[in-house]
Amino acid sequence: RGGGRGNFQAPLNATVNATVNYRRNDGDRLNVFPDLTGTTNGSTLSVPVTLNVRAGRSVHAIGATFSRTASRTLNGFAFDRDVAGDAGITGVATDPFDWGVPSLSIGSLTALRDTSPSRRTDRSWQFSYGWTRPAGSHTWRMGGSYQQQLNTTQSDSNARGTFTFTGLYSSGGLSTVRGSGQDFADFLLGLPQQATRQYSLSPDNVSTPITIRGRQFSLYLQDDWRWKPNWTINYGLQYDFVAPFTETSGQMVNLDVAPGFTDAVPVLAGDTGPYSGQFSDGLVNADWNNLAPKVGVAWRADARSVVRFGYGLSFNSGSYSTIARNLYQQPPFFQTATSLGTQADPLTLTKAFDNISSSTVTNNYGIDQSYQLGQIHQFTVDYSRNLFATWAAGVTYIGTRGVALDMLRAPNRGPTGLRIDDVQSFTWQSSEGSSYMNGVSFRLQKRLSRGVSGTATYTLSKSRDNTTATGG
């Protein structure tokens, strides 16, 4: 005020928002056999906090979120009665947490399966920052985020063993007849054809939960450009880094395989293998090259027509948690085994795992050390046109190309049995798969008028992939 010349100070506005969310659930796990019912309970706590600051034409958004989720599932025998032990079955879990009834599969009859015990606690911390500023015909956005996860779990899906009865022994090795009861006869004799087990057990014979840690961060830059009244261009670049999960006590195991899968040797987190050299703490090399461009264009050709184009690249960043679960559910921290019986050397229900040699490698999973995250390139082109006052037509092309997709193999299985001596059959995961899809869709739409509306579409597409991890 007055006659002097003053400086203009842009107003500063700030808004803070905080929310606390809590939820709890309790339920029953029903079973066709009433004695095999179980219970489940869980809770979720989430606390998101956001701070929005407007300084002049710029908007700053700062966020922080903490969340915790806990769940537990138990059967009716846990900590109360060791049913498998009372039946004289050896080589299975003895921890009271795992007590219960073994799983039985009797030919064509419905399998008998008790509730599998599990307990899990997930905690995560996330911090984010975003900046937005309009400048002429542009609206610029940039920012990033950081997230850290800590998951503690104990889940023994096959702690008491799974026993399969097929009628192999009652039929004398001949083909069994469906509905003949030969499979049930093998059950009455206590002679399974196959037995499997998998449960957590450290080298000192103590069942302990597993805690895995994960972290990721991302950066992005985006521009929404109103180039002309009839042109809009949106383009940007995003970088994501997702670190492979690690176990806080190093309790993860991979398989180090020789060229051509002629040998397989277990290797612990951070150790050196005889064929591949040094392994990281996550047993998989970090994938750092996850740079994803994105672009979208919209053009109004005339008053009745619009053309749109888009391209984006995305990465399968969620695969590391599944990989970590497979890596920590392995000997020596997990007991895993598969026994097969023959007429000459039958299995018995109580001693099915006694023929597992201590020198046999019983790990059932391995992954390529140079595994990469899967990539999906997606293209879209769309043309839409208003035909009449309430009618519109359009055509859309969509194409995808997948690179470095998951491939699952069973390299130790051959036509005559196991290919590597003293190594049980295992699944091998790599990132060699690929896919493509091309499709075109035609549509005719009638907007609502006089109470009538409708849409007719016709789509023609073709896809192909060579990856076994998508259900093929």
Query: Over its length of 472 residues, how does the chain's per-residue pLDDT go in tens digits?
Result: 344 455 555 578 999 999 999 999 999 988 888 888 899 999 999 999 999 999 989 999 999 999 999 999 999 898 999 999 999 998 888 888 889 999 998 876 667 888 888 899 999 999 999 999 999 999 999 999 999 999 998 888 888 889 999 888 888 767 776 767 888 888 999 999 889 888 877 655 556 788 999 999 999 999 999 999 999 999 999 999 999 999 998 889 999 999 999 999 999 999 999 999 999 999 999 989 899 999 999 999 998 999 999 999 999 888 898 899 899 888 888 777 788 888 888 889 899 888 766 557 878 899 999 999 999 999 999 999 999 888 999 999 999 999 999 999 899 988 878 888 888 889 999 999 999 999 999 999 999 988 999 999 999 999 999 887 655 4
Supply the pLDDT for residue 102: 92
Supply the pLDDT for residue 148: 95
Residue 92 has φ and ψ, to the nearest 5°, of -120, 175
DSSP β-bridge partners for residue 221: 142, 237
**How many CB atoms neighbour CB 278 within 10 A?**
10
Supply the pLDDT for residue 134: 94
Supply the pLDDT for residue 338: 81
Supply the pLDDT for residue 3: 47
Give the integer Cα–Cα distance in Å for 185 and 169: 9
pTM: 0.77
Instruction: Determine the distance from the C-alpha atom of residue 30 to the mean position of all C-alpha atoms in its chain, rounded to a whole number.
Output: 26
